[in-house]
Chains A and B, each alone.
Chain A
Amino acid sequence: MSQPLLQVDDLTTTLHVREGALRILDGVTFSLSGGERLGIVGESGAGKTMTALSMTRLLRIPGAEVSGRVLLDGTDLLQLRRRDVRRLLGARIGMIFQNPLNSLNPAMTVGAQISEAIRTHERVSRREAWERATRLLEEVQLPSPARSAHDYPHRLSGGMRQRVVIAMALACQPGLLIADEPTTALDVTTQAEIVDLIFALAEVRGMSVILITHDLALMAGFADRIVVLHRGRVVEEGSVRSIYASPRDGYTRALISSVARLAPPAWRGGP
């Protein structure tokens, strides 16, 4: 059997606070093969974002301790030196965060920010990086990419900014994209567009994706497999179909039944 692209084993994050130790992630285990789309779902505070940050060594909370193994192509990220982790981030793991409105530096043009991402990991000329940045903007379907590259983020709408963030994350062709609630701050139509875009880009590039969301409907159309997190633990894992059709765990059932449905409104037709 081939080795998975990413293997997360017993990922445990403990916060040491004055009152004692607080285990915010407890033995999170899952794996991901090349080209696969994995969804991590759970309510707020379930540890979704903590998982993403702990995995990538981006957790910067004083007193936090991360243990377990995170194997990316067989290399344990948790054992690497900081400097070596930095070499992987951006280059082999792309990340997209929640709030596109704040995810871009207001003092730099978007083209400069994407170019910077490229030049951090690859030895290319400024001009070449800029050209690649423009091509990336085209790829994420930003209108008039050559001109937008010169724009500062405040001139772009939320959806457009999230496209720029995606372009940045994909700048160095990472094999794995981690998208943490990439659509939360966007309106519904834009949400669908962004998710479709990520789906399409992942297909074209053969890239694996971890999508983190609390939106089960969004997830259903996107992921191959789902991991359900609850209070820092994986309570259920399986294919989308099997989990949505017959959730085994009580929490998963509760989560699915909590999704609002478009039932015929009782008042339709009215008095």
Chain B
Amino acid sequence: MSVDVSEGRSFQIDPAAPEPRSIVLPARGVLLRRLVADPTALAGLVIVTLAVLVALLAPWIAPHDPARQNVMNRYAPPSAEHWLGTDNLGRDEFSRMVLGARTSVLTTLAIGAGVLTIGIVVGTLSGYVGGILDGLIMRIVDLLLAFPPLLLALVVTGVLGPGLLNLAIAMIGVYWLSYARLVRGLVLAMRERDFVEGARALGLSGRRIATRHILPNVVGPILAVATLRTGQLLLILAALSFLGLGVRPPTPEWGAMLSEGQRYLASAPQLMIYPGIAIAVVALGFNLLGDGLRDVLDPTLR
């Protein structure tokens, strides 16, 4: 039988090219729904949300003044009055934990926002403008990345003097580097896409192309990495506070509480255990959420 398949099809030169994977951020509702569907991500989301809520509402949650001492009631066991007992100075441990969350979590988020902003701005400039500027920025980043970041943060805080603000500045100054790298790479890849070329052919300005056509298409992966990194920032902040570079007493902060409690480890281990657990759990929450976000934003990893 003669079949006339040759009439049209055999002259098709180029079959439609497969659409390359887009890394665009899905609509907000969709993102949340997919996160909730993933049990690990949901756990992360719950932990992080709780931590942030406690941090924000701390003054209203804490039943006692975290700084009020009571030498008559030191190392008290948990009771209806003091849910987690009292510390070495008779201060309410629960209130200190809650207000510690405010310092630890909110400072971490502020540092995270800082490194993210600097990283995005510098990375986009480097990746989009390219040329000499890119070379210069990346060599500076390379140079700074040659030092262990924790050590660098330690030195910078040492120079600025201890204190929460200086510690935050030092950490932002050190930890934006890898973000800039990441953003630059994503921007470089996006810059070569056809629609960016198209935007250029329409006479759009470079700034507009960078902010409207490139950045929105790379926020997804950046967001996922940023969440993962926030967990690390929390740990680093706690570590540097532990070393005495952060808050001044009597302000409660988990890392500092850990450090204070260390002296009474033998007699009152709970003074180290509570802040230790809090730090670990919240850091875990950020990690789970970050992993979940990455999976949700990149369906091929499922």
State how many residues of chain B have any CB contact under 8 Å with chain A.
35
- Report whether A90 and B212 are in contact in the complex, using a CB–CB cutoff of 8 Å: no
- Which residues of A lie under 8 Å from residue B201 when comparing CB positions? 56, 58, 89-90, 95, 97
Given A90-B201, A105-B213, A120-B202, A185-B22 contact (CB < 8 Å): no
Given A97-B197, A188-B11, A268-B2, A105-B217 contact (CB < 8 Å): yes
- Report whether B198 and A165 are in contact in the complex, using a CB–CB cutoff of 8 Å: yes
- What's the nearest-Cβ distance from chain A to residue B189, in Å? 13
- Report whether B217 and A107 are in contact in the complex, using a CB–CB cutoff of 8 Å: yes
- Report whether A106 and B198 are in contact in the complex, using a CB–CB cutoff of 8 Å: no
- Which residues of B lie under 8 Å from residue A262 when comparing CB positions? 6-7
- Which residues of A lie under 8 Å from residue B216 when comparing CB positions? 105, 107-108
- B205: nearest residue on chain A (CB-CB)? A86
- Which stretch (B13-21, B56-64, B79-87, B265-273) binds chain A? B13-21
Chain A 251-271 interface mask (CB, 8 Å, partner B; 1/0): 000000000101001001110
Tell which of B2, B15, B194 has the most Cβ of chain A within 10 Å. Answer: B194
- Which residues of A lie under 8 Å from residue B193 when comparing CB positions? 102
- What's the nearest-Cβ distance from chain B to residue A241, in Å? 23
Chain A 122-142 interface mask (CB, 8 Å, partner B; 1/0): 000000000000000000000
- B131: nearest residue on chain A (CB-CB)? A62
Q: Once bound together, how far apart are the Cα atoms of A186 and B14, in whole Å?
A: 7
B134-170 at interface with A (beta carbon < 8 Å): none
- Which residues of B lie under 8 Å from residue A108 when comparing CB positions? 212-213, 216
- Report whether A102 and B194 are in contact in the complex, using a CB–CB cutoff of 8 Å: yes
Contact of B217 among A98, A106, A189 (CB under 8 A): A106
- B198: nearest residue on chain A (CB-CB)? A103
Q: Please tell me if A116 contacts chain B, counting CB pairs below 8 Å.
A: yes
Q: Please tell me if A231 contacts chain B, counting CB pairs below 8 Å.
A: no
- Which residues of B lie under 8 Å from residue A187 when comparing CB positions? 12, 15-16
Q: Please tell me if B203 contacts chain A, counting CB pairs below 8 Å.
A: yes
Chain B 189-201 interface mask (CB, 8 Å, partner A; 1/0): 0000111011111
- Report whether A215 and B13 are in contact in the complex, using a CB–CB cutoff of 8 Å: yes
- Which residues of B lie under 8 Å from residue A101 when comparing CB positions? 16-17, 19
Query: Secondary structure at chain A's binding surface: helix, strand, loop or mixed?
Result: loop
- A118: nearest residue on chain B (CB-CB)? B202
Q: Please tell me if B113 contacts chain A, counting CB pairs below 8 Å.
A: no
Tell which of A97, A107, A116, A268 has the most Cβ of chain B within 10 Å. Answer: A107
Q: Once bound together, how far apart are the Cα atoms of A188 and B6, in whole Å?
A: 13
Q: Please tell me if A184 contacts chain B, counting CB pairs below 8 Å.
A: yes
A36-89 at interface with B (beta carbon < 8 Å): 56, 58, 85-89
Contact of B195 among A103, A169, A186, A265 (CB under 8 A): A103
- A269: nearest residue on chain B (CB-CB)? B2
- B25: nearest residue on chain A (CB-CB)? A107
- Report whether B24 and A106 are in contact in the complex, using a CB–CB cutoff of 8 Å: yes
A213-266 at interface with B (beta carbon < 8 Å): 215, 260, 262, 265
- B201: nearest residue on chain A (CB-CB)? A95
- Report whether B16 and A158 are in contact in the complex, using a CB–CB cutoff of 8 Å: yes
- Report whether B203 and A120 are in contact in the complex, using a CB–CB cutoff of 8 Å: yes
Contact of A185 among B14, B202, B203 (CB under 8 A): B14
Q: Once bound together, how far apart are the Cα atoms of A58 and B14, in whole Å?
A: 25
- Report whether A90 and B194 are in contact in the complex, using a CB–CB cutoff of 8 Å: no
Q: Once bound together, how far apart are the Cα atoms of A184 and B13, in whole Å?
A: 8
Q: Please tell me if A207 contacts chain B, counting CB pairs below 8 Å.
A: no
- What's the nearest-Cβ distance from chain A to residue B127, in Å? 14
Chain A 91-123 interface mask (CB, 8 Å, partner B; 1/0): 100010111011111111000000011001100
Q: Once bound together, how far apart are the Cα atoms of A125 and B203, in whole Å?
A: 19
Chain A 173-190 interface mask (CB, 8 Å, partner B; 1/0): 000000000001111110
With A56-B201, A97-B201, A120-B204 given, can you name 12 additional A-B contacts, CB distance below 8 Å?
A: A85-B203, A89-B200, A89-B203, A90-B201, A101-B16, A101-B17, A105-B195, A105-B212, A120-B205, A187-B12, A188-B11, A268-B2
- Across the A-B interface, the 10 shortest Cβ-Cβ residue pairs: A90-B203, A90-B202, A102-B194, A89-B203, A107-B216, A95-B201, A86-B203, A106-B22, A106-B24, A107-B24
Binding site for B on A (CB under 8 A): 56, 58, 85-91, 95, 97-99, 101-108, 116-117, 120-121, 154, 158, 165, 168-169, 171, 184-189, 215, 260, 262, 265, 268-270
Binding site for A on B (CB under 8 A): 2, 6-17, 19-20, 22, 24-25, 193-195, 197-205, 208, 212-213, 216-217
Return 19 A-B CB contacts under 8 Å, by A number. Answer: A56-B201, A86-B204, A95-B201, A97-B194, A102-B193, A102-B194, A102-B195, A103-B195, A104-B198, A106-B24, A106-B217, A107-B24, A107-B25, A116-B212, A120-B202, A168-B198, A168-B202, A185-B17, A260-B10
